[in-house]
Structure 1
Amino acid sequence: MVRHTQREIMRICAAFLAAASLLSFSGCGEAQREAAKASAKEITLWTHSAGSQAELDADHQMINAYNKSPNRKATVRLQSFPQSSYNDSIISASSAGNLPCLVDVDQPNTPYWAWANILDPITDKALLKRANQLMKSAKGTWNDKIYTVGYFDATTALFARRSVLEKNGIRIATVDHPWSKTEMDDALAKLKSSGEWSYPFEIGTADNKSEWYAYAYGPILQSFGGDLINREDYQTADGKLNGTAAKDFAHWMQDLVTKGYINSKGGSDTALDFVNNKSGLLYGGIWSMSTFQKYAKDYDDIVAMPMTDFGHGSVAGGGSWTVGITPTCANKEAAQDYLRFSLQDKFIAIMSKAGMNIPVTPGAQQLVPQFAKGGDMQVFTQISQRYAKMRPETPAYNFISTEFRKTIGDIMNGADVDTWLDKAVNHIDGNIQGADGYTKN
């Protein structure tokens, strides 16, 4: 829109010059500045939610409320894209210089987008003050600066049936007392020996094209004492992804297959399979609850528990979609003002309800009965607040995630642990070095 306006202005300027030479080039420049001011009165938000009517409706509610506000600093428009093509659309628009003012971004992608000049850090004091009131997992950060803010969080948990655990003499884990590694191994052995399931444990191994492995298995690695990268400076994975703790983790994952606890080529819908009793224990995301609520006749028998403490505390996946501001935005003041307005508890609650995810402020949690005190999903808020750890806040994350997924997939299918972990470290370190450490010019 802006480039079209500029072309129109240049044609007008040329016409005036040809006719009477009454308008100088400085006049054209002034006309362009006026056009820029006009375009800044309308800002656009791009979202990945084209396939989710509930989330789109929530976005429209927030935007309509802001646009009706007497104190609005611009009119906000919404443009939605399918999630499958969203990231490519952003990259293409960035290359062409056509980014909108506001874009939503999956929280772990924030550092890469900041490094690639797709995002600018938040600077508005009122917005930063509000950001500091959100759960940590609702912020996208890089180099100690906040770039994005969000309305909800997603996390991971173990799901089981209370009756199954009691029948097999297995303690129901709580947020205060997760299972120990010994308890986890004992529970898996008991479930396997019961003979009720071919594979008693489901961990989503079939989801080997997304970042599920890093999101879900990375926390297990961290609980063993390893990590995807050294977080002191994010320059190497050596010692973290191939150290003793990481090897113990990898051997444990491999043993899940060799002992017949999991299928390395698991089901495509793990939550529905659990509803249909194809597994006795499920490691999945909060979104599994929507399937349980819709299809499980024994919903009240299902319990959600934190993941096992493998020696360094229970760790849960965290971080979901957030929103940030682009460097080319012509009205950053308005963009930040809209974000601050949209982060009111009532709007956070509306957006959280749309996907039934964790509201990221205490006030918003009280507005969503499922997450309020006594609600059947309050446990996820507790798990997230106590145990969630962000995926590595580095522009190298996407490469790390892909490398980790391939490596752990191969190891679960019998690859040599030491060789494959060392290979992954070499590939990750090579990527970081090839990008000059992902330092921003």
Structure 2
Amino acid sequence: MRMNKKRSLIRLIAGIVALSGMVSLSGCGEAARQEAKMQGNEITLWTHTAGSEAELSTVEDIVADYNSSPDRKGTVKIQSFPQSSYNDSVISASTAGNLPCLVDVDQPNTPYWGWANILAPLTDKALLKRTNQLIGSAKGTWNKQIYTVGYFDATTALFARKSVLKDLGIRVATVDRPWTKAEMDDALAKMKASGHWAYPFEMGTADNKTEWYAYAYAPILQSFGGDLVNRKDYQTSQGVLNGPEAIEFANWMRSLVEHGYINSKGGSDTALDFVNKKSGLLYGGIWTMSTVQKYAKDSDDIVAMPMADFGHGSVAGGGSWTVGMTPTCNNKEAAMSYIRFSLKDKYIARMAKAGMNIPATVGAQNLIPEFEPGGSMQIFTKISSKYVKMRPETPAYNFISTEFRKTIGDIMNGSDAASGLNKAVNHIDGNIKGADGYIKK
């Protein structure tokens, strides 16, 4: 009798063990199926941040957090490129039909990439709701649709030493009271007359291979009352790039060279030159402040100010790197889910701080002491929010930028302003007409 009971007990235990093994195997099987599903929904993100350790590390952390999130719609992989070769890699992949699901893109390139079917508009309702909380310059739009979103903005400003301005009797400009054109001209004349600098003003004229001229000098053109292209329909530059306001702007730029205020060839590292007191006034990007804070022993004496108002309000450059989705993406739900996930304030703050740029949301700004009220970088947030004018949202922008750079470079070196601008307008209008107005059919 006892033997029978013992056998029964053994059978019961064996049954329980077998059942528990089946449950365990079932659980493992479900986990494996879910993992296989995620791998099947794998998407790739291309990023230009291979040369920036801080930014790439942040992207890697965001991706890792997303991939371990229970709400993920797929698995994200990263492929990083050096910034110098990134755009060419994307264009080549588009031509070959090998685009990934997600690409980052410099904001002014968004319209062209949208027109060229490299980008698709973002349509996820939850994502679009989140974009409403981003500053305007952190969004890439075209044809009234949002194609890309970013984590930060980069803007432009004037940099000077308060002690220098005080000694020369020059007012420190503020966001609410930028210099007038007369004050700008007076400041430059006084700096030149002081004899402290061969060229008192540095504005990056040596950077004539990138779009710096359009990013930095077009805002001055716009403050004079002109523009790169007519923004009503983006079909012509006639009247805005060669009108009287544009000619006045171009002549002013040439006068800077003629008066010896600037060197038309400029320095290769304008921020470091300013720190080393090779210039008294610098027109540069927000990234200048990082150089100042790192190398200037008198950083507390250096002040950032908005560019002067040349008659139509102070204008600042804006827009930086963003991320978007390609039309050939095999899992658009996962792509837009990842973008939405990456736009949490904590990630925006980390991305912005990696390059010390303006965080794209107020919540993220409050996570970085430098951008909080009273912080050393808050001045740039104020300049951006009040004075940024985005580069033209047209696929023709890259061509326009190149024409503008060549034309203004020639004018600063002595070419006639009116004829040079007319020639640029003819080239730009020809490009737009040749592309059937860049209207997507």
TM-score by length of 1: 0.91
Q: Secondary structure at the match of 1:389?
A: coil
Shift, 1:404, TM fit: 0.1
CA deviations on 1:51-99 (whole Å, 9 max, x unpaired) are: 0000001101111111111111111111100111100100110111111
Q: Secondary structure at the match of 1:379?
A: helix
CA deviations on 1:82-131 (whole Å, 9 max, x unpaired) are: 11110010011011111110000000000000000000000000000111
Aligned length: 406
Q: Is residue 398 from structure 1 mapped to residue 398 from structure 2 by the alignment?
A: yes
Shift, 1:39, TM fit: 6.2
Amino acid at match of 1:59: V
1:164-203 aligned at under 5 Å gives the runs: 164-203=164-203
Q: Which residue of 1 aligns with 2:18?
A: none
Asked whether the 8 Å contact 1:40–1:331 carries over to 2, the reply is no
Which is further off, 316-325 or 36-45?
A: 36-45
Alignment partners' CA distance in 1, 2:40 and 2:325: 14
Asked whether the 8 Å contact 2:39–2:75 carries over to 1, the reply is no
1:148-227 aligned at under 5 Å gives the runs: 148-227=148-227
Shift, 1:281, TM fit: 0.1
Amino acid at match of 2:412: M
Q: Which residue of 1 aligns with 2:439?
A: 439
Q: Secondary structure at the match of 2:216?
A: helix
Alignment partners' CA distance in 2, 1:38 and 1:164: 61
Q: Secondary structure at the match of 2:282?
A: strand
Q: Which residue of 2 aligns with 1:116?
A: 116
Amino acid at match of 2:195: G
Q: Secondary structure at the match of 1:141?
A: strand
Q: Secondary structure at the match of 1:187?
A: helix
Q: Secondary structure at the match of 1:90?
A: helix
Q: Secondary structure at the match of 1:159?
A: strand
Asked whether the 8 Å contact 2:141–2:148 carries over to 1, the reply is yes
1:10-29 aligned at under 5 Å gives the runs: none
Q: Which residue of 2 aligns with 1:375?
A: 375
Asked whether the 8 Å contact 1:148–1:323 carries over to 2, the reply is yes
Alignment partners' CA distance in 1, 2:61 and 2:315: 35
Amino acid at match of 1:407: T
Asked whether the 8 Å contact 1:106–1:320 carries over to 2, the reply is yes
Amino acid at match of 2:326: T
Alignment partners' CA distance in 1, 2:153 and 2:300: 24
Amino acid at match of 1:127: L
Asked whether the 8 Å contact 1:203–1:284 carries over to 2, the reply is yes
Shift, 1:37, TM fit: 7.6
Asked whether the 8 Å contact 2:38–2:73 carries over to 1, the reply is no
Shift, 1:38, TM fit: 7.1
Q: Which residue of 2 aligns with 1:272?
A: 272
Shift, 1:133, TM fit: 0.9
Alignment partners' CA distance in 1, 2:392 and 2:339: 25
Q: Secondary structure at the match of 1:226?
A: coil
CA deviations on 1:342-384 (whole Å, 9 max, x unpaired) are: 0010000010111110001000000011111111000000000
Q: Secondary structure at the match of 1:316?
A: coil
Asked whether the 8 Å contact 1:42–1:74 carries over to 2, the reply is yes
Seen in structure 2, the aligned counterparts of structure 1 residues 310 and 202 have a Cα distance that, compared at 3 Å, is: same
Q: Which residue of 1 aligns with 2:66?
A: 66
Alignment partners' CA distance in 2, 1:40 and 1:249: 56
Q: Is residue 240 from structure 1 mapped to residue 240 from structure 2 by the alignment?
A: yes
Asked whether the 8 Å contact 1:220–1:249 carries over to 2, the reply is yes
Amino acid at match of 1:294: K
Q: Which residue of 2 aligns with 1:25?
A: none
Name stretches of at least 5 consecutive residues in structure 2 with no aligned partner: 1-35
CA deviations on 1:164-184 (whole Å, 9 max, x unpaired) are: 000000000000100000100
Alignment partners' CA distance in 2, 1:101 and 1:37: 17
Shift, 1:199, TM fit: 0.4
Q: Identical aligned pairs, as a percentage?
A: 77
Alignment partners' CA distance in 1, 2:435 and 2:347: 39
1:407-426 aligned at under 5 Å gives the runs: 407-426=407-426
Which is further off, 66-75 or 222-231?
A: 66-75
Asked whether the 8 Å contact 2:316–2:383 carries over to 1, the reply is yes
1:132-143 aligned at under 5 Å gives the runs: 132-143=132-143
RMSD: 1.0
TM-score by length of 2: 0.91
Between structure 1 and structure 2, the one with the greater Rg is 2
Q: Which residue of 2 aligns with 1:13?
A: none
Q: Which residue of 1 aligns with 2:46?
A: 46
Q: Secondary structure at the match of 2:370?
A: coil
CA deviations on 1:140-194 (whole Å, 9 max, x unpaired) are: 0001000000000000000000000000000000001000001001100000100
Q: Is residue 355 from structure 1 mapped to residue 355 from structure 2 by the alignment?
A: yes
Amino acid at match of 2:236: T
Shift, 1:40, TM fit: 5.0
Shift, 1:220, TM fit: 0.1
CA deviations on 1:5-51 (whole Å, 9 max, x unpaired) are: xxxxxxxxxxxxxxxxxxxxxxxxxxxxxxx9876511110000110
